[in-house]
């Protein structure tokens, strides 16, 4: 039923384009180039007995180049494309990050291709530090400096992703009505396609479904944003799952003039296909606050998570916090300063899967 709904939506949109005698408007398709580069220098102090010797003063980077194509038809429908080229593919393992097409009109928007699911996209921007970061990312970057120890399964990344990442999807977003919007995704396979053969149900999780709703309005200096999302998927054929992998996420963001506060909740279950228990999953909470002083911005983020046991009775626990400062130096140019802390407590007896530490990083980011 879910697959039929998404297929029908795609066919209807295609029919709208075809039946309206669509043709190019006043302009030809255009291609724009964009992206960013952030050069980061930092120093960390952590438990070397657990993670091994690490360079004290380190240099890292975060960079991406994206290509955006667009054209507007004479019936008002806009067709867009986006392809993202990673600047550090050796770390991500994926040279091309996201690549998808969007079809926008009065009916809403349809996206086809390699992109995050609708629940991920619609909830993340309201969830705690995601909504308030002014420097590096509290969810991602703490682990870049205070390392997760071997055997620890907990993660500071608080967002709804059951492991499909940027696998190919079909997604539909409704138009916005009074601040409300709904989105839904169909995910054929959690393995990114090679465009050579159909995906197999035996090699990866498949037939996934995600749905989300959000509300976003502003009244003078007060703003309210809230979103909730759900996702579920069928495991690969032959996997010993007790139940289908599934997840839930919710976020709330409040703005009072120059101050924004936000919180987020995220729960994923049954993630390990061959796990010995039915409780392999994670629960996470994320909190953030931001002060916008014009060129000078400040934020404080905190995330905590528990990863359920896979073969043991305990839990892997992690906490992280980041205090950040950002100053605009000019159009597209920012200076950033971050102080971060991470604490990893594993379920094993002893300290073999524990680690904690601090880091200070400074960076300049150019976006174009």
52-92: per-residue pLDDT in tens?
A: 777 779 999 999 999 999 999 998 999 999 999 988 765 55
Q: What percent of the chain has a predicted confidence (pLDDT) above 70?
A: 82
**Length in residues, the chain:** 368
- Structure confidence at residue 313 as a pLDDT band (50, 70, 90): low
Distance, in Å, from the CA atom of 107 to the CA atom of 77, rounded to the nearest integer, reads: 9
350-361: pLDDT as tens digits: 667 889 999 999
**Residue among 314, 347, 358, 360 nearest 150 (CA):** 347
Range of the domain at 237: 2-367
Our separate counts of H helices and E strands in the chain read 5, 16
Q: Can you tell me the mean pLDDT for 188-205?
A: 72
Radius of gyration from C-alpha coordinates of the chain: 22
Q: pTM for this structure? A: 0.85
- What SS3 class is residue 89? helix
- The pair phi, psi for residue 90, each rounded to 5°, is -65, -25
Read out DSSP for 285-337? EEEEEEEEETTEEEEEEEEEEEEPPSSSSS-EEEEEEEEEEEEEEETTEEEEE
Distance, in Å, from the CA atom of 38 to the CA atom of 44, rounded to the nearest integer, reads: 19
Handedness of CA 37, 40, 46, 48 (dihedral sign): positive
Most confident of 135-149, 237-251, 275-289: 135-149
Pick 93 or 296 by higher pLDDT: 296
- Structure confidence at residue 311 as a pLDDT band (50, 70, 90): low
- Structure confidence at residue 276 as a pLDDT band (50, 70, 90): very low
Pair 341, 321: CB distance under 8 Å: yes
pLDDT, position 42: 96
Q: Can you tell me the mean pLDDT for 277-294?
A: 87
Read out DSSP for 180-209? EEEEEEEEEESSPP-SSS---TTTS-EEEE
- Structure confidence at residue 8 as a pLDDT band (50, 70, 90): low
Total domains in the fold of the chain: 1
Q: How does 327-348 read in b/e, with b if 16+ C-beta sit within 10 Å?
A: eeeeeeebebbbebbbbbbbbe
- What SS3 class is residue 105? strand
**Which residue do the tokens 């130096």 mark?**
329
For the chain, helix, strand, coil in percent to 5 are 10, 50, 35
Q: Above 80 in pLDDT, residue 28?
A: yes
Distance, in Å, from the CA atom of 211 to the CA atom of 232, rounded to the nearest integer, reads: 9
- Structure confidence at residue 4 as a pLDDT band (50, 70, 90): low
Distance, in Å, from the CA atom of 31 to the CA atom of 150, rounded to the nearest integer, reads: 44
Neighbour tally for 151: CB within 10 Å: 12
The domain that holds 307 is classified in CATH as 2.40.160.10
Q: Above 60 in pLDDT, residue 265?
A: yes
């Amino acid at each position: 039923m879910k697959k039929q709904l998404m297929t029908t939506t795609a066919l209807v949109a295609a029919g709208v384009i075809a039946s309206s005698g669509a043709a190019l408007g006043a302009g030809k398709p255009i291609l724009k180039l964009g992206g960013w580069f952030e050069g980061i220098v930092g120093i960390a102090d952590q438990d070397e007995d657990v993670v091994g010797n690490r360079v004290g003063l380190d240099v890292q980077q975060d960079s991406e180049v994206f290509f955006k194509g667009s054209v507007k038809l004479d019936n008002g429908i806009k067709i867009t494309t986006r392809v993202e080229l990673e600047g550090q593919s050796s770390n991500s393992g994926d040279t091309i990050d996201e690549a998808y097409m969007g079809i926008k009109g009065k009916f809403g928007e349809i996206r086809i291709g390699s992109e995050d699911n609708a629940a991920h996209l619609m909830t993340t921007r309201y969830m705690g530090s995601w909504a308030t970061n002014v420097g590096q990312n509290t969810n991602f970057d703490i682990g870049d400096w205070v390392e997760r120890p071997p055997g620890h399964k907990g993660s500071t990344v608080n967002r709804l992703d059951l492991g499909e990442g940027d696998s190919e999807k079909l997604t539909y977003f409704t138009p916005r009505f009074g601040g409300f919007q709904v989105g839904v995704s169909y995910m054929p396979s959690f393995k990114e396609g090679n465009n050579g053969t159909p995906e197999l149900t035996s090699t990866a999780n498949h037939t996934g479904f995600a749905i989300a709703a959000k509300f976003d309005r502003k009244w003078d200096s007060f703003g309210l944003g809230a979103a909730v999302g759900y996702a579920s998927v069928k495991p690969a054929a032959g996997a010993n799952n007790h139940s289908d992998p599934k997840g839930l996420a919710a976020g709330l963001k409040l703005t009072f003039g120059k101050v924004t506060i936000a919180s987020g909740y995220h729960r994923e279950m049954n993630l390990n296909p061959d796990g010995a228990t039915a409780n392999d999953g994670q629960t996470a909470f994320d909190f953030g606050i931001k002060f916008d002083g014009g060129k000078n911005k400040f934020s404080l983020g905190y995330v905590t998570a528990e990863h359920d046991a896979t073969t043991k009775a305990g839990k892997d626990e992690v906490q992280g916090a980041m205090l950040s400062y950002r100053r605009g130096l000019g159009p597209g140019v920012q200076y950033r300063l971050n102080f971060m802390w991470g604490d990893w407590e594993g379920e094993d007896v002893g300290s073999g899967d524990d680690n904690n530490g601090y880091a200070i990083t400074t960076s300049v980011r150019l976006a174009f």
